[in-house]
Structure 1
Amino acid sequence: MKQKDYHALADQIIKLLGGAENVSFYTRCVTRLRFHIKDRGEMNKEAIEGLSGVYGTQWQADEFQIIIGQDVGNAYEEIVSILGDSVSEVEENKVEKNSLHNLINKMCNTLSACILPVLPTIIGVGMIKVVLTVIGPNVCNLVGADNSTIIFLNFVSDAGFYFLPAFVGYTSAKYFKTNEVLGILMGVMMISPAFIELVESGANMSFFGIPIIANSYANAILPLIIIVWIMSNVYRFIDRFIPASLKSLIVPALTIVIMIPVAFCAIGPLSSVISNYLMQGLLWLNEHTGGFAVAIATSWLPLVIIFGLSGASVTIGQMMLAQYGYEIFWIYPAILFNTTLGVALFAVYLKQKKAEMLPLSITAMFGGVSEPGLFGYMVKNQKALISLMVALFFGGLYGGFSGVKNFAVTSGGIFGIVGTIGPESSIVHAFIGLAISWILAFVLTYYVALKKK
């Protein structure tokens, strides 16, 4: 389809959605345009499905998805050129505003909307990671680790994950209709090298006498989205009282000063405190229930990552490796989770013929990169998420009671399984645990979670 045809397609789509005034929010993912619609009665779903260049549509919770395919980027650019920032804020669901189900749906929709625009980049660097893992010294050994090209590809792909908070800060600010650059700042200040050095040094820190808990927030995606949401309200509140001539000088500065204690003394540390309780709980379970601790730690990994609490399993794993020379809560559960997620996404690909699921599956299975599949699909499909957690529980249960141990820090993809080879080799049991999770995940996803109503 020619570029001018994409403009015509975008124009037709917006008109059939009921016009720009009927769109409250829009974004895109790998193959779809995604819209929040104010009044469904004003749109014409059947007419949209009949447009040349549209391969189908579907409702996903409160989001209307239009399947465009691999050229979705071209269509999205034309949508942006027409709508720009003219859309108003997302209206609340008119039914059961305060119901638990609706609150969960709203949280999932918000989380997904803030993550989806980042997915193409994360998938891209994730695929690079897959290739580097396969051709590197730990698998096929086709290229040495000191190869200049490999070094560059490694640090560029690492940058995609390291600066994920910055990307999400921008997309969150855009979603909450606030200053995008300040949103980026909220993300990068949480991963500032200077702050990380202070954390690693164990220095006592405070802000105007308010103590700051030293912690790493590299994976704290949900806390960051909450921080940007608070920032958007702070920014709007201050903006109301500052004269127009002073807005550009005072509003950003005051917002930043107010958000520092909110981010570093409240929201961020809250995730750290919860992670610490999770860590203590896992250690207690391991002492009193054995394999059940690994099963619980593995099955809850999707939620732990969604809520930015993965520091618990990482901390325990590092402690155990340093003290005993092996660990059970960190690498193997991560491999179980990532590969099983890959299998579940592959089941979605086969069942629903969703082309975008295949790269998500590959990056999870071989690259050990869960974020695209987790935030791009599982967050908004609770049945599939529950099926995944059930599969992880039984795979982790077998791994826990059979004594699977990890003796080295490896990748979170399938090739990381070599880390279970050691003085008390348990790689056979490790593969059996994987097989249990894979089979359960495929069956539950394909026949239960995706069962047509």
Structure 2
Amino acid sequence: MKKLKSVGSAILNALSGSLVPLIPVLIGAAMFKTLLAVFGPDVLGWIHADSDLYILLSFVADAGFYFLPIYAGYTSATYFKVSGLLGMFLGAILIHPTFAALDQSLVVFGLTVPSLAYSGTILPILLSCWIMSYVYKGVERVIPKVLQDVFVPFLTILVMLPITLCLVAPLGTWLGQFICDFVLSLGSLGGIGTILSMALIGAFWQYIVMSGMHWIFITTIITILATGEVDALIFPACTASSFSIGGMCLGAFLALRGTEDKAKAMSCVIAQMIGGVTEPGLYGVGFQYKKPLAGMMAGGFCGALYAGITGVVCTNLVPVASLLVFLSFTGASAMNLVNEIIAAAIAFVVAAAVTFVLMKSGEK
């Protein structure tokens, strides 16, 4: 059991260490997509779809997601203590135009290289860089120091080519596709299935974050959006959960008596709403006083429940927990954005009310 826990912890740490550095790129690309969504033909209509400005903003926004294997190649290789540039090189191989344009598998020295699209994917390059860390160190041990600068990078990539293209990358793609299909199937269940799934994610999302499992969900969202789909399950629910933290802290602020405690609770409200940071509220208020955790879960459940009932979808990932997160819901109808704002407001108010009542009543 301990070994399983350590393996699971190592996987989650690797996901976190590889994905967190990508956030500036994802936010930057998301902001360009937001400009298109708000000022483009679907909302304000200030930028026409056939204009040069629209074309420019469109490919700039897409570049943030299309070249993910290169960005993730750098961050994951760096995490596994290998040259980040080699990771980028491996990621670039996966999305090279010649390889991407193939309509049939290659057969080289009897090895079959499946023709698959890797643009916008993350798992294939993460798995490849993990294995490359062992290959690199092994090659480095057997090559004399005087020749290492030339032959270690060359032999590492040479060894990684069949491993990556024939086995690891296809496996990562199929695994990622399976997870995406599973999430999309939950989101497309319709009726009570989708609504209940979202409500449960909203209620338990902060515990998922604590375990580190949220990176698996974030990876899935990125992959879904990179393929042109929308996330109708995870992000609308976890957004509501984020605002339940702010509501929980406000409820605690209203219930607490000590000036210092009240100041801390209010600072946690501001940290979530403006700074997009939920950890101070979760650990400094929720786990310190215990009762607010019930308010947080109730708020997340109710907010996500409303998002599920109204069919809110995430069209554009802005991975923050502040008010800026609503930009993630601007690419669909106007009511999509309005309903997510309402969902977050419900989560905030319910969490505040339940927390206040529980802390004032003295119930355990």
Q: Offset of 1:436 from its aligned partner? A: 4.9
Superposition deviation, residue 234 in structure 1: 0.4
Q: Which residue of 1 aligns with 2:346?
A: 439
Q: Which has the higher contact order (CA 8 A, sep 6+)?
A: 2
The verdict on how the C-alpha distance between 1:97 and 1:415 changes in structure 2, with shifts beyond 3 A counting, is same
1:268 match: 169
The 3 A distance-change label for structure 1 pair 157 and 171 is same
Which of the residues 255, 260, 273 maps onto 2:156?
Answer: 255
Tell me the equivalent position of 2:361. none
State the Cα distance separating 1:171 from its structure 2 match.
Answer: 2.1
Match of residue 147 from structure 2 = 246
Measured at CA, do residues 273 and 344 of structure 1 come closer, stay the same or move farther in structure 2, by a change above 3 Å? farther
- Choose between structure 1 and 2: higher helix proportion: 2
Alignment partner of 1:352 is 2:268: yes
Q: 1:128 aligns with which of 14, 29, 32?
A: 32
Match of 2:122 in 1: 221
Question: Aligned residue for 1:152?
Answer: 56
- Specify the alignment match of 1:415 in structure 2: 330
Deviation, 1:405, is 11
Q: For residue 136 of structure 1, report the CA deviation from its aligned partner.
A: 1.4
Classify 1:230/1:294 alpha carbon distance in 2 versus 1 (closer, same or farther; 3 Å).
farther
Deviation at 1:188, TM superposition (A): 1.8
d(CA) in 2 for partners of 1:209 and 1:441? 60
Contact preservation (8 Å) 1:295, 1:395: no
- Equivalent position amino acid for 1:398 in 2: I
Range 270-279 or range 234-243, more displaced: 270-279
- State the alpha-carbon separation in 2 of the partners of residues 104 and 390 from structure 1: 27
Opposite residue 98 of structure 2, the aligned amino acid is A
Cα distance in 2 for residues equivalent to 1:153 and 1:257: 37
Compute the RMSD of aligned alpha carbons: 5.0
2:72 is paired with a residue whose SS is helix
CA contact (8 A) 2:41 2:48 kept: yes
Range moving further from structure 2, 174-183 or 231-240: 174-183
Number of residue pairs the alignment of both structures matches: 303
TM-score by length of 2: 0.61
Counterpart Cα distance in 1 of 2:49 and 2:2: 54
Deviation at 1:240, TM superposition (A): 0.8
Residues 302 and 170 (structure 1 numbering): CA distance in 2 closer, same or farther, change over 3 Å? Answer: same
Residue in 2 aligned with 1:38? none
Whole-angstrom distance in 2 between the partners of 1:435 and 1:337: 12
Q: Which residue of 1 aligns with 2:68?
A: 164
Residue 184 of structure 1 aligns to a residue in which SS?
A: helix
Matched, 1:336 2:247: no
What is the Cα deviation at residue 135 of structure 1? Answer: 1.4
- The 1:233–1:278 alpha-carbon spacing in structure 2 relative to 1, beyond 3 Å, is closer
> TM-score, normalized by length of structure 1?
0.51
Paired with 2:156 and 2:17, the residues of 1 have a C-alpha distance of 24
What's the secondary structure of 1:211's corresponding residue? strand
Q: Which residue of 2 aligns with 1:181?
A: 85
Letter in 2 for 1:220: T
Q: How does 1:5-404 map to 2 (within 5 A)?
A: 98=3, 100=5, 102-198=6-102, 201=103, 203-275=104-176, 277=178, 291-292=192-193, 296=197, 305-308=217-220, 330=230, 332-333=232-233, 336=236, 340=240, 343=243, 352=268, 358=274, 394=305, 398=309
| Equivalent residue number for residue 77 of structure 1 | none
